[in-house]
């Protein structure tokens, strides 16, 4: 932690930091639960990740406003790893990504973030948003027992093949949650995080009152959330697993680095400050090496929670530390009550998150250009949705590389013609 941020720090700053941390903590709880469930793992792992990542990045990160935790961008990647290799191997892939992030930092890869093509970023984020949104349709409709697949089109096919099993009570519960979110945002557009919490509480409460036992809850599917924090345990890493999981770890590391540094850049623009990309990547690397020891999933800096932190008056890492401590207290005191939350209530929350991260305005703008960037965006988007994120980003980068070489070659030829 950079102690320079505490120069001229006052009691008033401390009050604002604590208040901001509590507000962000309230937002982080439903998102942590929801992202873990969407990733195909136990909901409590999302809370473990929120606590460990939130605390460590506040202390070790390169941006004093950064809030780290599980994020929507990881959902399709983590779900794919869980379906293909299992939860234990996901922890190992997360640990390996932490090592890669530290290597990236030492190689000063963070300085290259400004050169990463925006068409690829918009393409894969839009693809991720579509996967998250479609992935919540089963919970919205009450189709909790259907199979999950690694590929988008197979999941859509599974949904259509089971429409005769839809649960009208789940739809009503999800509709109540979505209506509550939209009403709150209509009267208070800046209360996005609070709208999530109110949506879950109101919809679950009304559904429990009017049609109890007619819908699935977190407890009925995953069991009661334990009211304790896990003891550390080192993942069982073997050379065979390292070789198998290296591509997945590399993708996670790229995602963590991109999202964390982009979020830090947004924080810089909002606060007129400057983050350290090297320190941020090292911090995120340590975070992703430590979270698997506490059953946590990969984490990164998250834009919505970081922006909320700033808008609520945060001025130091104390806000991030408070957010982590608040979630820990809620876990230790109120965890059993989370088991009563309707799964259908979480679906609209993640759908709204997907809508907000979809980059829809930038997507439409680039497509209208009908340029090479439009081709890169559509290629990255399509491959992210119908294959996986690794292929989407990889092919997008290859296209940009070929375009760069061709462009430079043409410029060289023009120069030779002029001089010749």
Helix (H, G, I), strand (E, B) or coil at 327: helix
Quick one: average pLDDT of 284-289?
96
Question: What's the confidence (pLDDT) of residue 249?
Answer: 95
For the chain, give the mean pLDDT: 90
Measured CA to CA, the distance from residue 15 to residue 56 in angstroms comes to 21
Taking only the tens place, the pLDDT of each residue in 181-219 is 999 999 998 787 789 989 999 999 999 999 988 999 999
The torsion region of residue 184 among left (phi > 0), alpha (psi -120 to 50) and beta comes to: alpha
Question: What's the confidence (pLDDT) of residue 10?
Answer: 84
138-147, 278-287, 317-326, 409-418: which range is least confident on average?
A: 409-418
pTM of the model: 0.85
Is 394 or 287 the better-scoring residue by pLDDT?
287
Partners of 217 in beta bridges? 342
Domain boundaries, the chain: 3-362, 367-419
Given a contact cutoff of 8 angstroms between Cβ atoms, the answer to whether 309 and 320 are in contact is yes
Taking only the tens place, the pLDDT of each residue in 22-77 is 989 988 998 999 999 989 999 999 999 999 999 999 999 999 999 999 988 888 88
* 308: pLDDT strictly greater than 90: no
Q: How confident is the model at residue 420 (pLDDT cuts 50, 70, 90)?
A: low
Question: What's the confidence (pLDDT) of residue 140?
Answer: 95
Helix (H, G, I), strand (E, B) or coil at 68: strand
Measured CA to CA, the distance from residue 68 to residue 291 in angstroms comes to 12
Measured CA to CA, the distance from residue 221 to residue 392 in angstroms comes to 33
Long-range contacts of 153-161 (CB under 8 A, 24+ apart): 153/386, 159/134
């Amino acid at each position: 932690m950079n102690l320079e941020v505490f120069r001229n720090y006052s009691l008033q700053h401390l009050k604002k930091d604590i208040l901001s941390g509590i507000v962000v903590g309230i937002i982080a709880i439903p998102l942590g639960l929801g992202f873990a469930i969407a990733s195909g793992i136990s909901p409590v792992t999302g809370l473990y990740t929120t606590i460990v990542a939130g605390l460590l990045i506040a202390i070790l990160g390169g941006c004093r406003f950064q809030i780290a935790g599980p994020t929507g961008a990881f959902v399709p990647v983590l779900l794919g790893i869980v379906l293909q290799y299992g939860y234990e191997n996901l922890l190992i892939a997360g640990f390996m990504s932490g090592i890669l992030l530290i290597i990236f930092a030492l190689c000063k890869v963070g300085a290259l973030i400004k050169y990463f093509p925006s068409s690829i970023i918009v393409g894969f984020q839009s693809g991720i948003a579509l996967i998250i949104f479609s992935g919540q349709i089963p919970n919205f409709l009450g189709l909790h027992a259907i199979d999950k697949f690694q590929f988008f089109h197979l999941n859509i096919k599974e949904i259509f093949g089971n429409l005769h099993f839809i649960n009208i009570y789940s739809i009503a519960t999800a509709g109540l949650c979505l209506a509550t979110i939209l009403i709150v945002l209509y009267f208070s557009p800046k209360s996005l995080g609070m709208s999530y919490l109110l949506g879950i509480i109101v919809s679950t409460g009304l559904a429990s009152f009017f049609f109890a036992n007619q819908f699935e809850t977190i407890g009925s599917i995953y069991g009661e959330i334990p009211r304790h924090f896990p003891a550390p345990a080192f993942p069982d890493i073997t050379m065979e697993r390292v070789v198998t999981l290296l591509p997945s770890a590399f993708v996670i590391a790229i995602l963590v680095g991109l999202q964390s540094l982009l979020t830090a850049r947004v924080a810089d623009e909002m606060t007129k400050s400057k983050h350290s990309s090297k320190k941020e990547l090292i911090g995120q690397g340590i975070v992703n090496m430590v979270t698997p020891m506490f059953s946590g999933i990969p984490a990164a800096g998250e834009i919505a929670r970081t922006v909320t932190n700033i808008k609520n008056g945060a001025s130091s890492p104390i806000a991030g530390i408070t957010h982590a401590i608040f979630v820990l207290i809620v876990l230790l005191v109120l965890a059993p009550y989370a088991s009563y939350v309707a799964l259908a209530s979480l679906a609209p929350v993640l759908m709204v998150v997907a809508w907000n991260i979809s980059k829809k305005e930038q997507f439409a703008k680039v497509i209208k250009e009908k340029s090479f960037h439009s081709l890169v965006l559509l290629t990255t988007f399509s491959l992210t949705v119908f294959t996986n994120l690794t292929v989407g980003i990889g092919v997008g980068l290859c296209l940009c590389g070929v375009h760069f070489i061709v462009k430079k070659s043409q410029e060289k030829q023009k120069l030779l013609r002029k001089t010749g």
